[in-house]
Structure 1
Amino acid sequence: MSAAGTEDYNDLTSFLGDYGLFQNLIIVMLTLSAFPSGYMTAIFVFISDAPEYRCKESIGSTQNSSWAGPDSCSRYKLNRSWDETEQCLDGWVYSTDRYTATIVSEWDLVCENAWKVPFSTSLYFVGVLVGSFVCGLLSDRFGRKPVFFSTMFLQAIASLIQAASVSWVMFCVFNFLRGFGQVAVYILSLVLGTEILRTSARVTFSVLGHSGGFGIGYALLPLAAYFIRGWRMLLVASGIPPLLFLSMWWVIPESPRWLLQKGRVEEAELIVRKAAKMNRVPAPEVIFRTGESLELMENKHEEKRTHTYMDLIRTPNMRNTTILTVIMWLSGSLVFTGFSLNTSNLNGDPYLNCFFTAAIDLVVYVVTWLVINRVSRPTLVSSTMMFCGVMLLATLLVPEDVPILGLVFALMGRLGSCGSFTFIYVFSAELMPTVVRNMGIGISSTAAHIGNIMCPYIIYMGVYSKVVPYIVFGTISVGTAAVSMLLPDTRDSKLPDLISEVRPIRRCCCLK
């Protein structure tokens, strides 16, 4: 048998079908694992929100001496003229109309300490950046399953300990660890589903399952936050589901594709035989012959070896694919995450805004599933990003006395952002070969979260001018829409296993 990549693997496992009990169980389990990722990132909207605040009364103040000042960061001096002010020397009083406590009211992160709020959020994305880089390398070397469950445990424990933080510094440390675990779990659930499932089930899982699980988790966040008004208990509630999910170790298998790529043929065959038994279909006497299995994953130009991140730029096709994928993830994730964190700056109730945003996401996932196999991948990514950019830039034309129109444009932009980012996840998994797939998605995610580290500061500028985030996000979306058209269409194509099977990018008319 010649090395034919994914088509050969699909042929050898075709007796399993696409939607048997085994595949449906994998889809459900990995979808559930994506729930925490949906609310982990956006939870900052509620635990880091700044309630209304004012200076505490000065000790010894009387009925006729007001503590109030020209702003919330100063007060008029006691028994002095009304034009003399001083800092809030006795601290602040915070409104409890919306929250019983947030980290802002817990550690007085206002006025000269207001910078600590976006900084703590950025540290979460630093953890995401490091996690996507490190865990991509570890999972390609040691396996998808052990790294997946290890980081699931880290995600749960970090959330629970963070809820008991005694200082802002401790909160930041566990913010980093929580981000490290969250991104690894989310990426590895996508990689596991992509490599275990066959073509039809893979697309359904990626769009409706993986992305839909993220959206459902995001939609549950405002509901939980509405009933849990304290930041500590909200973090406890967020850490329990991933802890319970650890029991799925005995249900979710290792990726057979990864096992074959490592030459562990007997283990891969055992997983496939268990799947056949669950689906109640007969399995061939021999599924993978050792020699044939090695041909599935390597050829004479690509001997079996340990791959590194350098393989992502070693050949022209692989290098071009990596660069363009990194650009897509950088801009797509920046805009998508920016929308989630910008909920508090939108007009209206933050709980409803968060829920409406999540509802839009869920609608987009269904629409994406319906059209993803009918339109080329580059066209889908480009058109949705362009739509997002145009809607965001259109907010500049909205009169100040019609804020509801600006909210409509913003939510429409969210629709395009969610659609493009959903396509990017599916598209990237299909572009990257098995031997470096998790490293490729990991490095793309790393680049994306470099942008996300800047997200809180872009959102923070929205406190002074609500249109600034939209200008930044809109401009980035329009530029990336043009770049994404260079990538090859992977619709109805085999999943590449080898670097030599990576397709070239599409050339511009001005290039040779």
Structure 2
Amino acid sequence: MAFEAFLDEVGGLGKFQILQFVLILPSLMITVCQILLENFTAAIPHHRCWVHILDNATVSDNDTGLLSPDVLLRLSIPLDSNLKPEKCHRFLHPQWQLLHLNGTFPNMTDLDTEPCVDGWVFDHSLFSSTIVTEWDFVCDHQSQKPVAQSMFMAGMLVGGFIYGHLSDRFGRKLILRCCLLQLAISGTCAAFAPTFLIYCSLRFWSGCSAVAIVANNNMLIIEWTRSQSKAVMLTLIGCTFSMGQMMLGGLAFVFREWRTLQLVVSVPFFVFFLSSRWLMESARWLIITNKPDEGLKELKKVAHRNGMKNAEATLNMEGLRATMQEELEAAQTKTTVFDLFRTPNLRKRTCLLLFVRFAVTVPLYGISMNLQHFGSNIFLFQVIFGALATIARCLALVILNYKGRRPTQMFFLFLVGLSILANTFVPQEMQTLRVTLASVGISCIAAAVTSYCVHCDELMPTLLSAKAVGLDMMVIWFAATLAPLLMTLVVYLRSLPWIIYGVCPIFSGLVVLLLPETRNMPLFDTIQDVENK
């Protein structure tokens, strides 16, 4: 692209790009906290039915004072198959005859039970409160939890469509600033939501702005970076997401009450809104949208910050029009997302890439948003998974450069699927093995996503890259919306969601074989380049 020549003159990866990235980094990290927030604010603590003789403070000590709480619990709550108190049923009447069984366990199926008609008693040792304990989303109402998670993802799906169009029309910086303020307000209000319906509405609104914050921050970094450094910058952005995972684990460990945690990860966006005024608008976008004067002004600022003093002589309107004549003419030809499907080769690439993106996103959010499936210490899991993902992303960048795009993606995608499927058949008691397999899975997902981003960027023609990114983002958030909803399938088969999470990446690894290799290959600028490859 002709714009690359200007980037080389003003500095394609210098002091300005580093400062821009540092200014953007905190908002990206806290946005990741917002995306994965329900891991902690919607955590399900240990619970059992409320029982009169044990939990009613008005019961006289003379009635049960000679019996310990453990004994009263045994008289009131049946045991499940693991000989632990049932979570969703209690005896219809206290079973006093159980006092005389001397440690033996009777056949509970012969005793009359009933659901928890008087509510539940929750264990508050790990969390002071969550939306689950506040609105009793357990037992017959447990499907409400994945609904809450999906509302945020649904907001990201809608926001990706709306704000993606607005960003192309009004600029990356303006829409980013609006969305930072929107997320600050909606996130803060969610901390005070009086009902579940209001909470879901505010989380949906937060999701709409979160996707725009991620997308526009990424564009304000990538569109100021030369092509040779894009793979490195994409990897650094991925590492920022992993750092956000680790930060969330630490914040959730300190703030155990869900409203407080919600507030802590929302208020900083007011600060990010104020600091975003120092971000630089994309000169590439300004020039393409017939604002060359403003584009040149931004380029001169960047050249000054990068110490490129000799760039002033060539940064003028005549040089701009001469260098970017073809690009400016191409900008006059309006393109749409449908152009990705008009020609056979590009249509094939687009469909295959979108399938791979969907198949890798489903297990990514399936694991990331269901940490309790792997054990009780979810604070530590969040930090470990984030650290391992950071290492895996850097490893993927090295393998991409030596082995190519296709083999790298296939390797990591197969490992993702196999680790999830293997974990499905590991008993809950074998916590160490379960966490190990989950760590392998989340690490390989991070590496697979990094590999995909590099491959996709190299397969799409420059003329349609923005449209391809917008479509890609919609598929991401559709898959992210679907991933938590798949957990409702546990009512039919407990392992069914995890089998789906494991099969998806294995299929996508096979699909990668149908895509061309792009290592050390020239990039495509136009649709015709793709068709004539």
TM-score by length of 2: 0.85
Determine the structure 1 residue equivalent to 2:286. 259
Give the AA of the match of 1:447: V
Shift of 1:345: 0.4
Determine the structure 2 residue equivalent to 1:360. 388
Q: C-alpha distance in 1, partners of 2:428/2:87?
A: 25
Shift of 1:414: 1.6
Quick check: 1:216 aligned with 2:251? no
Q: Which moved more, 1:351-360 or 1:253-262?
A: 253-262
From 10, 16, 21, the counterpart of 1:16: 10
Q: C-alpha distance in 2, partners of 1:247/1:355?
A: 29
Determine the structure 2 residue equivalent to 1:295. 325
State, as a whole percentage, how many aligned pairs show the same letter. Answer: 25
Instruction: Indicate if the aligned counterparts of 1:40 and 1:238 stay in contact, CA closer than 8 A.
Output: yes
Determine the structure 2 residue equivalent to 1:3. none
Aligned length: 496
SS, match of residue 19 in structure 1: coil
Determine the structure 2 residue equivalent to 1:386. 414
From 119, 125, 146, the counterpart of 2:174: 146
SS, match of residue 54 in structure 1: strand
Shift of 1:116: 1.0
1:426-505 matched pairs, under 5 angstroms: 426-461=454-489, 467-492=495-520, 498-502=526-530
Q: C-alpha distance in 2, partners of 1:158/1:187?
A: 19
Change (3 A) 1:271 1:317: farther
Determine the structure 1 residue equivalent to 2:226. 198
Q: C-alpha distance in 2, partners of 1:55/1:479?
A: 43
CA deviation profile, 1:24-79 (whole Å, cap 9, x unmatched): 11222233332123222221111101112222234676645878333333333457
CA deviation profile, 1:344-396 (whole Å, cap 9, x unmatched): 10035111111111111111122234344334223322221122122223335
Shift of 1:400: 6.7
Change (3 A) 1:234 1:37: same
Instruction: Indicate if the aligned counterparts of 1:159 and 1:236 stay in contact, CA closer than 8 A.
Output: yes
The structure carrying a bigger helix percent of its residues is 2
Q: C-alpha distance in 2, partners of 1:43/1:248?
A: 24
Shift of 1:241: 2.7
Q: Structure 1 unaligned runs (5+)?
A: 1-5, 506-512
Change (3 A) 1:396 1:99: closer
Q: C-alpha distance in 2, partners of 1:249/1:461?
A: 42
Instruction: Indicate if the aligned counterparts of 2:461 and 2:527 stay in contact, CA closer than 8 A.
Output: yes
Q: C-alpha distance in 1, partners of 2:427/2:44?
A: 27
Determine the structure 2 residue equivalent to 1:74. 89
1:379-418 matched pairs, under 5 angstroms: 379-395=407-423, 398=426, 402-418=430-446
Determine the structure 1 residue equivalent to 2:305. 278
Q: Which moved more, 1:289-298 or 1:273-282?
A: 289-298
Change (3 A) 1:144 1:223: same
Q: C-alpha distance in 2, partners of 1:397/1:74?
A: 27
CA deviation profile, 1:203-223 (whole Å, cap 9, x unmatched): 222102x11111111101111
Q: C-alpha distance in 2, partners of 1:351/1:418?
A: 19
Instruction: Indicate if the aligned counterparts of 2:289 and 2:331 stay in contact, CA closer than 8 A.
Output: no
Give the AA of the match of 1:68: S
Shift of 1:497: 5.3
Q: C-alpha distance in 2, partners of 1:274/1:326?
A: 38
Determine the structure 1 residue equivalent to 2:398. 370
Q: Which moved more, 1:268-277 or 1:400-409?
A: 400-409
Give the AA of the match of 1:297: E
From 18, 22, 26, the counterpart of 1:28: 22
SS, match of residue 48 in structure 2: strand
Change (3 A) 1:76 1:104: same
Instruction: Indicate if the aligned counterparts of 2:163 and 2:175 stay in contact, CA closer than 8 A.
Output: yes
Instruction: Indicate if the aligned counterparts of 2:288 and 2:331 stay in contact, CA closer than 8 A.
Output: no
Determine the structure 1 residue equivalent to 2:452. 424
Change (3 A) 1:340 1:307: same
Q: Which structure is higher in RCO with an 8 Å CA cutoff and minimum separation 6?
A: 1
Give the AA of the match of 2:161: F
